[in-house]
A and B are shown apart, each in its own frame.
With several copies, the nearest count.
Chain A
């Protein structure tokens, strides 16, 4: 039997396969395809203090081996989220990590304060890297000082495990990871989407109503792996790796690069059973390669010789 457990701060997951925020709703829609109780953790879509309407349509565009989205964190606000999504999740035995958004430091904190009253929250993922909202979002995640500030404020608001989600749209992702680590983040997750654009040559218009959006899927995997590798070398806290993971092999690559857990995003749209398929594949990889603890893969990339 392979020991599949993964440790993110004080949180012990039964396995390292999580969902990527915004690609799995609050799990309800995918319960028809996967057994949610098998997941390492369920990361919810982004939640803000008040309802956000999100961006106009079209909100997605397909690109070569990838997709752009400009959903814009549409969500009903933390109150409805607690009443509806968390209430539904309460009966399901899976660690719930709530992805938190805000336009200002105060808003991030207010969302967390409301969520502190909910028993079923296992951890927070603070999204300082959404490219699809004007204020807040990515603005916090592209420089060290604001990233540190949001982290400090969220840290003060909760003693639950705090994961900070990093933007890939930066010159030095390791520096930002170090900044949030030093303010008490228990883990970092990356990558959020790469800012991109798509144009329809025949209409001469952008394919997204918002013009730009976030690139995800297999196309970004090489960039994601590189950033996970750089960040894992720079910080001591665990790294949750994501970006284009479609298969168990992809997941292994992220672990080797230094991730302690992985998140599955765009793959869910292609194969709604991706998460559990990847989980079984990962377990099989460990078995076939005499890996006793999946944690032994973390950072096990061989770079010499």
Chain B
């Protein structure tokens, strides 16, 4: 007599199959997760309990980078306590996960050409997206930015599924020296896409969004907020939208850039 169970059980313990360092401070953890691998949509996330005990109390949200067979991959960067804990897990360990959560990228019918713009770890939610788009026959242009060549994470994947791949690095060690927004501006003009997908630091997403919208191209962004519950209950993670505040964990993390109020003072009350 479970009242209003809107969904299947979302909570489970997953076995770590592998946890590989791919460059300084960045790793990919592979989890045995048949249920999620089968149902996750690009841009959705899992909410992971990375530590034991209460000293790292809250879960951490991580995008599903790729899903294949019975496993999912998470691309992570060691930033603080939670991701440090995650980096210490090894094959055979178990992790407690909730997911898949949130609304992912929308792939409208009839797309022929999509521009994906990833800055830094913004590459994480782009893996499945790029793969699915190319499987559907959509031409993918990919603009990737990072501090240096070794941080162009998942570059091999992106190059392999993209029609066109261009990158920039802060130090010029690969691609053009400078910001990925310069690359995206160039690609937008040279090869106008039907849609732009952006993920990365918020200032970068905001800049890409304004480039796209100015060019009359729809744009989706995946916004990060600190999340406590991850399931829509606590209102930790709100994003200002034209419809009022919305939850990054529930209505998001992907939003239509045209709906996002980037400046908090624009946000109307209510929900």
Contacts and interface: CB of A to CB of B under 8 A. Distances in A.
Judge A-B direct contact (beta carbons within 8 Å): yes
Interface of A: 22-25, 28-33, 35-37, 45, 50-54, 56-62, 64-67, 69, 71, 74-77, 80, 88, 91-94, 209, 217-218, 246, 266, 268-273
Given A65-B55, A75-B271, A270-B58, 9 more contacts: A23-B229, A53-B269, A59-B237, A60-B58, A60-B227, A62-B58, A91-B3, A269-B228, A271-B96
Contacts of A271: 11, 96
A29 B270 contact: no
B238 A59 contact: yes
Contacts of B9: 32-33
Interface string B248-271: 001000000000000010011111
Contacts of B230: 269
Interface in B1-58: 1-7, 9-11, 49, 54-58
Contacts of B111: none
Given A32-B7, A36-B4, A53-B267, A66 B234 contact: no
A32 B269 contact: no
A209 B225 CA distance: 13
A28 B96 CA distance: 22
A37 B3 contact: yes
Given A54-B235, A60-B226, A74-B245, A67 B11 contact: no
A23 B9 CA distance: 20
B236 interface: yes
B193 to A, nearest CB: 30
Centre residue among B11, B231, B250 by max chain A CB count within 10 A: B231
Contacts of A74: 235, 238, 245, 269, 271
B233 interface: yes
Interface in B202-238: 225-238
9 contacts: A30-B233, A31-B3, A35-B2, A54-B238, A62-B56, A69-B234, A69-B236, A76-B271, A269-B58
Nearest to B98: A272
Q: Is the interface of B mostly helix, strand, loop or mixed?
A: loop
Contact of B4 (A23, A76, A92, A268): A92
Contacts of B227: 60
Given A61-B226, A218-B54, A270-B58, A28 B4 contact: yes
Contacts of B269: 50-53, 74
B54 A31 contact: no
A206 to B, nearest CB: 13
Contacts of A217: 54, 57
B66 interface: no
Interface string B58-87: 110000000000000000000001000000
A58 B234 contact: no
B270 A51 contact: yes
B202 to A, nearest CB: 10
The 6 A-B residue pairs whose C-beta atoms are closest, nearest first, are A51-B270, A53-B269, A25-B233, A51-B269, A29-B233, A65-B54
Nearest to A88: B4
Contacts of B271: 51, 74-76, 80
B59 A270 contact: yes
Contacts of A29: 229, 231-233, 250
Q: Is the interface of A mostly helix, strand, loop or mixed?
A: loop
A60 B54 contact: no
B1 A35 contact: yes
A62 B267 CA distance: 25
A37 B1 CA distance: 8
B266 to A, nearest CB: 11
B49 to A, nearest CB: 7
B228 A60 contact: yes
B57 A218 contact: yes
A66 B233 contact: no
Contacts of A30: 231, 233
Given A53-B267, A80-B270, A269-B228, A60 B3 contact: no
Contact of A62 (B2, B49, B57): B57
Given A31-B6, A51-B271, A61-B226, A270 B238 contact: no
A58 B5 CA distance: 31
Contacts of B250: 29
Contacts of A246: 54
B7 A270 contact: no
Contacts of A24: 233
B260 to A, nearest CB: 13
A53 B3 contact: no
A77 B228 CA distance: 23
B11 A33 contact: yes
A217 B9 CA distance: 25
A189 B219 CA distance: 47
A98 to B, nearest CB: 16
Nearest to B56: A62
Centre residue among A22, A32, A54, A71 by max chain B CB count within 10 A: A32
B11 A273 contact: yes
Contacts of B6: 28, 31-32
Contacts of A22: 234
Nearest to A268: B229
